[in-house]
Amino acid sequence: MEDNRTYLPPEWNNDERMRVLLGPMPKAQDTVARNARLTFWSAAIHLWCKRTNKLIFTLQETLAAFRRGTQLPLCIPEVLVHMNSTAEVLPIGELPLGEQPQESWLRWGQRVFLATPSRFAWNKFKKIIGVSDIEGTTFVNTVMLQEMCDQVTKRYWESATKNYPVNLPVALPHLYHRINECIGTADNLHLVVETLAYQGLAATTVHNGTTYVKFVMPGDTSKPEITLADLAEINLLCAVEQVQDNINSINAEITELQVNAKASLKSGSRVQALSCLRKKKRLEKSLCKQLGAMENVSSCLQQLQEARINKQILHAFKTGVEAIRDSFKGDLSAEGVANTMDELQEVLEECQDINSVLATGVTEQDVDDTALLKELDELMSTDQKSSKQHEELINSMSSLTLPDVPKRNPLSSLNTQPSSPTLKATP
């Protein structure tokens, strides 16, 4: 039966080769075979994670992914231990996630000099005595995690739309809807966002029960920050969307009541038609209130956006002032400018003198014009003689005539036929 798992290595159909690779890990003394086994299964696990968007996995899931009939890869546990030691995979509890809070000097010293060395020593001790608890550990593929972080940031800025400001925080459900084809599951996106927040490339916050994320602007090195103005603008955008939905719903209901009123009149039910019209009047009053609310919310949103744009303009002005101020540092003083202008005037005068010398040209005093004219006359007379001889040759050749080509065979007038040679017998 054909195996449809696309992540399997090319050696999977080789029974003899896979019988060896699925066996237990070679002993530590056989370093060549051990390194070959680690290289093969590490590449296979990375390919499995990439093809299936499997960012988080366990030992049991790995064994099931590479099951070959009734045979399981017996060396996978040691391969995961090796990948953990090289930080290719990490337990999800050891993965640095989330924004780093401001810690005190005491907290920093405890983390650097106590927590980290003790955890490293304990892991080293467990490796020496052969104790491993990977069976209940959830691993994260750190190589694939970093690739997903870069891809999410790139796809976010590529899919940015004009109707939603790109410098505003975006809700995680909305972000997942935009880039779900390259991220896999929502848990992967949450892990990617937390990793970007730890790296200082994103900021997260929980607002009205929804997690929002704000990415760093392309080319910006400063860490993004979610401000109260951002949250207020988000609230206003949500309010505009909600009010617009209410207005659309009321308009649809008013249209339906008009249709029902006409149908009731045609059927002779006047009381029911009047009831539909009364409901229509109430909905029209509600519609007027909703339109007023929409106007107020839109006005507030516009003022907030203008304030944000003005803030950006003011920041640009401050940056321009600092740039101009820096450009005038150094020799750009009044005395420095005067000295520079004097040097420039001296250089221009030197250039003018050189140009005047070059414009005078060069005259040769040792050349006799009479001899040159005589030589020129000789060349002209020689040229005329050669041209005259050429014309005479052409005229003499034009007087020559050739006979006409005969139209019949000249031998036919002799009435003789060429006789065939006779062969004489040799004695």
pLDDT of residue 1: 44
Q: State whether 128 and 21 are in the same domain.
A: yes
d(CA 305, CA 302): 5
Structural domain ending residue among the three candidates 297, 323, 349: 323
Tell me the mean pLDDT in the region 264-273.
85
User: Each residue of 160-181: pLDDT tens digit?
Assistant: 654 455 678 888 988 888 888 8
Q: State whether 63 and 109 are in the same domain.
A: yes
The CATH number for 247's domain is 1.10.287
Q: State whether 116 and 203 are in the same domain.
A: no
Domain-embedded: residue 49: yes
pLDDT > 90: what percent of the chain? 19
pLDDT of residue 422: 43
Q: State whether 28 and 125 are in the same domain.
A: yes
Highest mean pLDDT among 98-107, 119-128, 170-179, 417-426: 170-179
d(CA 74, CA 62): 11
Residues ≥6 apart with Cβ < 8 Å to 159: 178, 179
Q: Which of 263-272, 280-289, 399-408 has the lowest mean pLDDT?
A: 399-408
Domain-embedded: residue 370: no
Q: Where in the sequence is the domain holding 287, given as residue range(s)? A: 235-323
Q: State whether 152 and 180 are in the same domain.
A: yes
At 415, the pLDDT band (50, 70, 90 cuts) reads low
Domain-embedded: residue 345: no
d(CA 162, CA 171): 16
pLDDT of residue 353: 85
Q: State whether 200 and 311 are in the same domain.
A: no
Identity of the amino acid at 257? L
Tokens (6 digits) for 320: 């321009």
Identity of the amino acid at 417? Q
At residue 14, does pLDDT exceed 90? no
Neighbour-count burial for 397-413, b at 16+ CB within 10 Å, e otherwise: eeeeeeeeeeeeeeeee
Domain-embedded: residue 80: yes
Cα angle, residue 268 at apex, residues 267 and 270 outer, rounded to 5°: 120
At 425, the pLDDT band (50, 70, 90 cuts) reads very low
Q: State whether 282 and 307 are in the same domain.
A: yes
Tally the domains of the chain: 3
pLDDT of residue 424: 43
Q: State whether 37 and 88 are in the same domain.
A: yes
d(CA 86, CA 424): 110
Q: Which strand ranges, in their side-by-side order, compose the sheet holding 56-58?
A: 56-58, 138-141, 89-91
Identity of the amino acid at 225? E
Torsion sign over Cα 115, 118, 123, 126: negative
Domain-embedded: residue 259: yes
d(CA 141, CA 83): 9
At 107, the pLDDT band (50, 70, 90 cuts) reads low
Q: State whether 44 and 123 are in the same domain.
A: yes
Domain-embedded: residue 411: no
206 versus 118: the higher-pLDDT residue is 206
Structural domain ending residue among the three candidates 82, 111, 141: 141
Cα angle, residue 26 at apex, residues 23 and 27 outer, rounded to 5°: 145
Residues ≥6 apart with Cβ < 8 Å to 53: 183, 184, 185, 188
Domain-embedded: residue 26: yes
Q: State whether 187 and 239 are in the same domain.
A: no
Tokens (6 digits) for 202: 């994103």
Domain-embedded: residue 340: no
User: Each residue of 280-300: pLDDT tens digit?
Assistant: 899 999 999 999 988 998 888
Q: Which strand ranges, in their side-by-side order, compose the sheet holding 170-171?
A: 170-171, 210-215, 202-207
The CATH number for 114's domain is 1.10.10.570
Q: State whether 96 and 175 are in the same domain.
A: no
Cβ(214)–Cβ(174) below 8 Å: no
The CATH number for 168's domain is 1.10.10.10
Across the chain, mean pLDDT equals 80
Task: Look up residue 68 and give its DSSP letter.
Answer: B
Q: State whether 190 and 288 are in the same domain.
A: no
At 100, the pLDDT band (50, 70, 90 cuts) reads low
Structural domain ending residue among the three candidates 323, 355, 390: 323
